[in-house]
Amino acid sequence: MAVVLATQACSTTSSGDQGFQGNWKAIWETDPAGYPGLSDKLDFTMGGRFLIEGDSITIEGYGYKGCIFTEDTIHHKLIWKIRNDSLMLYNDAQTPGLTYRIIQSGEGQIKLQLEDIFVTLTK
């Protein structure tokens, strides 16, 4: 039993097996305390969405004037995989991109972390 659990914990999981598939509302957040002098000038949240279909993930962020993340709308179509406790994004099969740590994953909600940026996904 312990060998099975250890093997599963150290493996790459098929993208579709994690219940991540579908259209997710996304909220990016970061702590204003990490940006002294900017907390009264900028907003530290941004809305958007993650669309996960098969091994493809489309990430949209809806920036706006005064948003710390971006003032523009971002749109990225990437490849994704789950490995251990990480959501790994790739530009193509040979080019790694960002890696989010999966903090929580449950029915209808996923919480991710990328350094000091937190993303909450809800269905």
What's the 3-state SS for the chain? CHHHHHHHHCCEECHHHHCCCEEEEEEEEECHHHCCCCCCCCECEEEEEEEEECCEEEEEEECCCCECCCCCEEEEEEEEEEECCEEEEEEECCEEEEEEEEEEEECCEEEEEECCEEEEEEC
Q: Which domains does the chain have, with CATH numbers?
A: 2-122 (2.40.128.280)
Instruction: Note down pLDDT in tens along the chain; length 123 residues.
Output: 333 333 334 444 444 445 899 999 999 999 999 999 998 999 999 999 999 999 999 999 999 999 999 999 999 999 999 999 999 999 987 888 899 999 999 989 999 999 999 999 999
pTM of the model: 0.83
